[in-house]
Structure 1
Amino acid sequence: MSRSPAVPPPSVLSRLRFKHLQLLDILGRTHNLRIAAEQMHMTQPAATKILGDIESMFGAQLFERLPREMRPTDLGVLSLRYASAAVADLGKFASEFHTMKSGGYGHLAIGAITASTAQVVAAAIKEIQQQRPRLIVRLIDQSSDQLAIWLEEKKLDLMIGRLTEARQETLFNFEDLSAEPVWVVVGRHHPLLKQASVEIADLGAWPWILYPPATAIRHLFDETFAAAGMQAPVGMVETPSIFSTLELLQATDMISLQPRAAVAKYVQSGLLGQLVVPIRRTMTNYGVITRKNEIPSQPAQEFMAILRTTAERLGDHVAVPRTAT
């Protein structure tokens, strides 16, 4: 016999207020009751009383009172996650309501990995700006692991990237958008560009600029080196920033594995050089990711439709969309 899902006691739902959620949200970010009180424009004793009321309401301690910080318990971590999402939701509602009331066209917060930003996302933003000239678009260029955190916290309306953890399949919908070929690139004066041919074994003696460990392109790099039986490079810089990478490549003899879409124009213009080396495996496709059980806003739906047609027009498009279950 199946059990009905548990619901909070009616007394909790009737007593929980926005100031309770707001205090939890701020405490989750600061771990400091004094700072939380200041940000809420109240005295510390008042904030202490509100936290006590919250813990009494839930019948559980949410924070350990330590000399230098307020450390969340396991139940506190759970509470903070929901409080943060609720505060973000209400803030988004208030912003959209005010914008529409004032005759505006709303906001759209997009998170995107570097490869998609270089071509597909940039072209899609150009098109939606033509359709909605007053739409305010906030674009964040980051790695998929960080974007997924912000999407879960409702700081983004959608993201263009990859799922990086198995648990995310229960949180998000994923629709394939495009493949992501990679190139090995260097500064235009790198000594390896003078060699007639370059193999993977030639690359181990040089320092590298790499994406952070949790990213798909970093996994591809690690697997490529491991398959060749090679040790980690002699030195490395880790950064998701294509701009920092470009500066370092031009100023040093470092090497980097980069999405083709992000560096092709720099290679074509002569700012960078490409080392044609065999990469045995390709990365999984990136796609459009949204939260499950939530209908995207009208601007987000329009932008997603533009992304699909843009990706198909630019090539490397995957014909059959897939939604994570």
Structure 2
Amino acid sequence: MLNRANKLKLRDLRLIKAIAETGQLALAAERLAMTQPAASRMVSGIEQSIGAPVFERHPKGMTPTAVGKILARNAAGLLKGMDQTLADVQSAITGQSGAVRVGAVTGAAVGFVVPAIQKLKKTASGADIHVDVAPSDVLVEGLLGGEYDFVLSRIPAGTDPRQFQVRRGRVEVIRFLVRRDHPLAGPGPLKTADLAGWEWVAQGLRTPLRQAIEEAFVSRGIPLPDEIVNTSSLLVMFAYLGSTDAIAPTSREVAELVAPTSGASQLAALDLEDPIIINPYYHLISMKNQSLSPIAMQLHDLVYAALSGES
């Protein structure tokens, strides 16, 4: 019997389920867009394959036998699982579901990846999205190792850029975070010299942001701070700022998120009359010979649209 049952097809299971639910061959055939004679022949073929009656025929319709009840019950579960599988496959093909993993430096994650995910989720609620925030050298190493679909970072020195598909990023204007009641907090931009003598809490040495600030201070004849707390953690930075007079250089996107011009915040963002600019701070990078899944491509395009000012 088991060998014969292996001949059952999905359409057989759909018919068994429909007859069990309606109790009428004609109604089941209509539901499946079949003629009644064709449905009758299919039932006979099923019973021949099974080697046992599946339905009892009577003047008022058809009722499943003990075998038919087992088939109808399991057909419902199998068909539901198959329908969900097909829906998932279709969603993956159209980019409405699937997994995508992105890496980004802090400012890019806040300014571009998060808004892009919010847009994507409006049409692809089933997407499984992972976002890692890390320095550029870690992100590019992960991209090369297949950990990410794409990253928003710079290309570290010594890394061959020819293996990447690179969408050029935009320049980054550095802003300075302080606690809301800091002596420097107030209207109007500051002179770079106004930042001299204050403690810093900043990204570590050799990061593009740190290097740009140090070069700007040196070129303008302003002494670098004697006291610097080095951290890549925004949580550590914010906590330190809240209880000290330290200054934290950060990206424009991070400053706009935690210290908006309107709304209550424990932090304030300072601007300079002569801004310090990183040109450019990061790029949208993917592997040149690697195809992105539909969902990953959707997110990639949304990030790039924001990065290039198209959205």
Contact 2:153–2:284 (8 Å) recurs in 1: yes
1:183 aligns to 2:179 (yes or no): no
> Structure 1's 307 and 195: CA in aligned 2 closer, same or farther, altered over 3 A?
closer
Residue type at the aligned position of 1:150: G
Once residues 144 and 129 of structure 1 are traced to their aligned partners in structure 2, the CA distance between those partners, rounded to angstroms, is 26
Q: Report the number of matched residues.
A: 217
Report the secondary structure of 1:192's partner residue: coil
The Cα of 1:258 is off from its aligned counterpart by 0.8
Contact 1:145–1:214 (8 Å) recurs in 2: no
Give the TM-score of the pair, scaled to structure 1. Answer: 0.59
Report the secondary structure of 2:277's partner residue: coil
Q: Which of 270, 274, 277 is equivalent to 1:275? A: 270
Q: Which residue of 2 aligns with 1:233?
A: 225
> Structure 1's 116 and 194: CA in aligned 2 closer, same or farther, altered over 3 A?
closer
Q: Alpha carbon RMSD of aligned pairs, Å?
A: 2.8
1:306 aligns to 2:298 (yes or no): no
The Cα of 1:254 is off from its aligned counterpart by 0.6
The Cα of 1:228 is off from its aligned counterpart by 2.3
Report the secondary structure of 1:214's partner residue: coil
Report the secondary structure of 1:111's partner residue: strand
Q: Percent identity?
A: 22
Contact 2:173–2:275 (8 Å) recurs in 1: no
Contact 2:174–2:276 (8 Å) recurs in 1: no
List alignment gaps of at least 5 residues for structure 2. Answer: 1-87
Q: Which residue of 2 aligns with 1:44?
A: none
Once residues 278 and 215 of structure 2 are traced to their aligned partners in structure 1, the CA distance between those partners, rounded to angstroms, is 11
Q: Which residue of 1 aligns with 2:116?
A: 124
Once residues 116 and 190 of structure 2 are traced to their aligned partners in structure 1, the CA distance between those partners, rounded to angstroms, is 37
Once residues 226 and 257 of structure 1 are traced to their aligned partners in structure 2, the CA distance between those partners, rounded to angstroms, is 16
Q: Which of 207, 220, 223 is equivalent to 1:215? A: 207
Q: Which of structures 1 and 2 has the bigger CA Rg?
A: 2
Give the TM-score of the pair, scaled to structure 2. Answer: 0.62
The Cα of 1:159 is off from its aligned counterpart by 0.4
1:202 aligns to 2:198 (yes or no): no
The Cα of 1:109 is off from its aligned counterpart by 0.8
Q: How does 1:1-325 map to 2 (within 5 A)?
A: 105-193=97-185, 198-267=190-259, 268=261, 269-279=264-274, 281-285=276-280, 286-312=282-308
Report the secondary structure of 2:290's partner residue: coil
The Cα of 1:274 is off from its aligned counterpart by 2.9
CA-to-aligned-CA distance 1:184-223 (integer Å, 9 cap, x gap)? 2211122233698743233231110111223221121121
The Cα of 1:118 is off from its aligned counterpart by 1.8
Contact 2:101–2:148 (8 Å) recurs in 1: yes
Residue type at the aligned position of 1:275: L
Residue type at the aligned position of 2:269: Q
Contact 1:224–1:280 (8 Å) recurs in 2: no
The Cα of 1:279 is off from its aligned counterpart by 4.4
The Cα of 1:313 is off from its aligned counterpart by 5.1
Residue type at the aligned position of 1:169: P
Once residues 171 and 297 of structure 2 are traced to their aligned partners in structure 1, the CA distance between those partners, rounded to angstroms, is 22
Contact 1:164–1:215 (8 Å) recurs in 2: no
Report the secondary structure of 2:131's partner residue: strand
Report the secondary structure of 1:121's partner residue: helix
Once residues 305 and 186 of structure 1 are traced to their aligned partners in structure 2, the CA distance between those partners, rounded to angstroms, is 35
Once residues 219 and 211 of structure 2 are traced to their aligned partners in structure 1, the CA distance between those partners, rounded to angstroms, is 12
Once residues 274 and 307 of structure 1 are traced to their aligned partners in structure 2, the CA distance between those partners, rounded to angstroms, is 25
Once residues 197 and 103 of structure 1 are traced to their aligned partners in structure 2, the CA distance between those partners, rounded to angstroms, is 50
List alignment gaps of at least 5 residues for structure 1. Answer: 1-99, 316-325
> Structure 1's 272 and 314: CA in aligned 2 closer, same or farther, altered over 3 A?
farther
Q: Which residue of 2 aligns with 1:9?
A: none
Q: Which residue of 2 aligns with 1:95?
A: none
Contact 2:213–2:276 (8 Å) recurs in 1: no
> Structure 1's 314 and 257: CA in aligned 2 closer, same or farther, altered over 3 A?
farther
Once residues 195 and 310 of structure 1 are traced to their aligned partners in structure 2, the CA distance between those partners, rounded to angstroms, is 29
